[in-house]
Structure 1
Amino acid sequence: MLRSTVSKSSDSEVDLLDDRDFVQLIDADGIRHPSPTIDQWVADVSDAQLADLYEDMVVVRRIDVEATALQRQGELGLWPPLLGQEASQIGSARALRDDDFIMPSYRENGVAYCRGVALDDLVRVWRGHAHGSWDPSEFRMAIPAVIIGAQTLHAVGYGVGILRDGADSAVITYFGDGATSQGDTNEAMIFAATYQAPVVFFCQNNHWAISEPVGLQATRHISERAPGFGIPSMRVDGNDVLAVMAATRIALDRAHNGGGPTYIEAVTYRMGPHTTSDDPTRYRDADELAEWKAKDPISRLEKYFESKDLLTDELKARVKAKADSVAAEFRAGCIGMEEPTIMSVFDHVTIEIDPVLERQRSQYAAYLANFEGGE
């Protein structure tokens, strides 16, 4: 079993893997498992705060279900569901500092929600209304990256910039198991290790790279690749929001204190399709899906709360009201979105006026003028 260590700012050594296959604090039955080396990283998380994480996951799942429905109703061109991956996204996102930067792939809508991105901005690209949905500098989060693995290189470049600025912030980059076979991701790890960039590589191993199972591209745990690049790694139960938060805090502490990059493999499962254009029943066994539904990140927290008599009517009502409110706002924002003009395709392509772009804009405007109605 791979074992690596990081140092907390107090210089105490922390084992990145305990005696199980992965770090787990709350199992699928809602049972809390103490871990002497990991518990210290979430010792401040009370049951009330755990209830807030539960609310986040329920709300994000509701957003996801609503977006899928909007796509089926013709309101979105495409949507990449995150169903089943809520704990990986919420647990990691809530561990970040405000000055940490996020380089996502295209599925991190839960992370964007935690970052405060406007609900309608979550679907602006998928509705075909913009190149990008939000201002990265405002939310310290880049817009979705559809090119598989490309954002890992961006993260390392940003991390090197942090070093040169003399800052103590970090950057986290999200990607799936499929991206680990991409050259960009491996090159990013080489540069991160070489420059000791403050980067957290966060792999959401959801077991399927579209229709390709993870076993076809990795005969050993994905987390075992990183030490070959000189990057310590850990493997965590990606459906356990508390364990994910602990793992992310460990990695961020290392980055914030000059320890360089860390690699996290969050073992989770994509319970829905790759995107709404995909039919997973063509390649995925129903028994496998049923097995992972039993490990659902939301239901395990409910079982944990039930065991402590914390799943009260008040909590359930509060969470439902929040989810209903967000879903209604989300749908209204999507359907009521102002239609872009044809010429707006040239907006926000470059920061400064570019002569080539201006020439293209002028030529396209002249072309449109040949048709009745112009724009």
Structure 2
Amino acid sequence: MFQILNEDGKIVNEEDVPDLSDEQLKELMRRMVYTRVLDQRSIALNRQGRLGFYAPTAGQEASQLGSQFALEQEDFLLPGYRDVPQLIWQGLPLYQAFLFSRGHFHGNQMPEGVHAVSPQIIIGAQYVQAAGVALGMKKRGKKNVAVTYTGDGGTSQGDFYEGINFAGAYKAPAIFFVQNNRFAISVPVEKQTNAKTLAQKAVAAGIEGIQVDGMDVLAVYAATKHARERAVNGEGPMLIETMTYRYGPHTMAGDDPTRYRTEDLDNEWEKKDPLVRFRKYLEAKNLWSEEDENKVIEEAKEEIKQAIKRADQHPKQKVTDLMANMYEELPYNLQEQMEEYKEKESK
């Protein structure tokens, strides 16, 4: 497993420490703290009935943000449903992320310059899409990559194999992430596959694979940077397995992790917290303090408050919006329904 920072925030692999400035290191920490606050507030908003579908992200910040930080603005992001943080840092306004959670179509409309699609709910489907996007980039001669994410359970889907095989055959510039948080809802990874690692599944597709400490933000960043350089240089796609953990439930839709995870396992991974590890590293370099962290926490709370307020004020989605967005030309039976709902909505 590729690692740069150990659990105590000490460098264990000097050779591969990425070339990041002090300001970049601080920005990476800022984003991780902000995202942890966003997760806490999103869970609270969900419980209040102010958000819809939500998949907690605490514990996976290094895997998510370390990878996104290594990308360029023109790279194309194809996230899974837990990967909203990457979308936000790629440029999706926070209020739109909240609208996505509520099922509002505006939450799926990417602003100009944000090269991404909305989070995929179908497990593994984004892998096939990423292979296609990457091939399109190659055929256009673009020096960019398509980046996608799934969990350990996603590697059991046919789309997973089809995506990495297609991209490998065409040497398409794609980076495939498997965020191995040990459980696909309640199924442990040991029952998901007989393979010793998920990274080694890359071998069957003839592409490079690597297993990375997903609680180590520097290792994830360095691995992503390496994969990106290979891809844009025509060396083909790469599969990156990040060993990580979600501290919360699979989603807020009734999952109870205490039914399938032990307290000992939770405690073991709690000690690997990516924020604690990176904080220790930065504090030793005199780049981070409690004052810095509290400032980020307060900024995040205020921005989240304003974003949910803006989401609340956005025009409600109507049935006629759904019809208009689904079809360029309505079938005759829906034309009748369109008129019917227009009348209802005008009252």
TM class by shorter-chain length?
over 0.9
Instruction: Confirm or deny: 8 A CA contact 2:30 2:293 kept in the other structure.
Output: no
Inter-partner Cα distance in structure 2 for 1:368 and 1:348:
15
Change (3 A) 1:190 1:325: same
Shift of 1:360: 4.5
Inter-partner Cα distance in structure 2 for 1:374 and 1:48:
53
Structure 2 equivalent of residue 94 of structure 1: 69
Inter-partner Cα distance in structure 2 for 1:92 and 1:364:
46
Shift of 1:368: 3.8
316-325 vs 46-55, which moves further: 316-325
Instruction: Confirm or deny: 8 A CA contact 1:68 1:81 kept in the other structure.
Output: yes
Amino acid at match of 2:335: S
Structure 1 equivalent of residue 236 of structure 2: 260
Structure 1 equivalent of residue 247 of structure 2: 271
Q: Secondary structure at the match of 1:111?
A: helix
Instruction: Confirm or deny: 8 A CA contact 1:63 1:326 kept in the other structure.
Output: no
Shift of 1:328: 1.9
Q: What does 1:1-12 align with in structure 2 at a 5 Å threshold?
A: none
Inter-partner Cα distance in structure 2 for 1:294 and 1:134:
38
Instruction: Confirm or deny: 8 A CA contact 1:223 1:234 kept in the other structure.
Output: yes
**Residue 198 of structure 2, aligned match among 222, 244, 264:** 222
Change (3 A) 1:309 1:125: closer
Shift of 1:175: 0.8
Shift of 1:348: 2.7
Inter-partner Cα distance in structure 2 for 1:112 and 1:207:
23
* Alignment partner of 1:29 is 2:8: yes
Shift of 1:65: 1.4
Structure 1 equivalent of residue 275 of structure 2: 298
Inter-partner Cα distance in structure 1 for 2:24 and 2:107:
32
Inter-partner Cα distance in structure 2 for 1:179 and 1:136:
28
Structure 1 equivalent of residue 326 of structure 2: 349
Structure 2 equivalent of residue 60 of structure 1: 35
Number of matched pairs: 345
**Residue 307 of structure 1, aligned match among 272, 284, 290:** 284
The percentage of counterpart residues that share the same residue type is: 38
User: After the TM superposition, which segments of 4 or more aligned residues of structure 1 sit over 4 Å from their partners?
Assistant: none
**Residue 78 of structure 2, aligned match among 77, 100, 103:** 103
Instruction: Confirm or deny: 8 A CA contact 1:173 1:202 kept in the other structure.
Output: yes
Shift of 1:310: 3.3
Shift of 1:67: 1.2
Structure 1 equivalent of residue 216 of structure 2: 240
Inter-partner Cα distance in structure 2 for 1:311 and 1:132:
34
Q: What does 1:129-208 align with in structure 2 at a 5 Å threshold?
A: 129-130=104-105, 132-135=107-110, 138-208=113-183
Shift of 1:355: 4.2
Change (3 A) 1:90 1:365: same
Inter-partner Cα distance in structure 2 for 1:76 and 1:257:
42
Structure 1 vs Structure 2 CA RMSD: 1.9
Inter-partner Cα distance in structure 2 for 1:49 and 1:164:
33
Shift of 1:316: 2.6
**Residue 364 of structure 1, aligned match among 334, 337, 344:** 337
TM-score w.r.t. the length of structure 2 is 0.93
Amino acid at match of 1:259: E
Change (3 A) 1:307 1:200: same
Amino acid at match of 1:363: E
Change (3 A) 1:126 1:172: same
Deviations for 1:209-259, whole angstroms, at most 9, x for unmatched residues?
111111111331100110121011111111111110000000000011111
TM-score w.r.t. the length of structure 1 is 0.87
Instruction: Confirm or deny: 8 A CA contact 1:31 1:304 kept in the other structure.
Output: yes
Higher helix share: 2
Instruction: Confirm or deny: 8 A CA contact 1:100 1:171 kept in the other structure.
Output: yes
Deviations for 1:139-188, whole angstroms, at most 9, x for unmatched residues?
10111110000011011111111121122211111111110000011011
Q: Which runs of 5+ in 2 are unaligned?
A: none
Inter-partner Cα distance in structure 1 for 2:313 and 2:340:
30
Q: Secondary structure at the match of 1:141?
A: coil
Structure 2 equivalent of residue 14 of structure 1: none
Instruction: Confirm or deny: 8 A CA contact 2:75 2:144 kept in the other structure.
Output: yes
Inter-partner Cα distance in structure 1 for 2:93 and 2:282:
30
103-112 vs 146-155, which moves further: 103-112
Q: Which runs of 5+ in 1 are unaligned?
A: 1-21
Inter-partner Cα distance in structure 2 for 1:178 and 1:310:
38
336-345 vs 103-112, which moves further: 336-345
Inter-partner Cα distance in structure 2 for 1:125 and 1:319:
24
Change (3 A) 1:137 1:324: closer
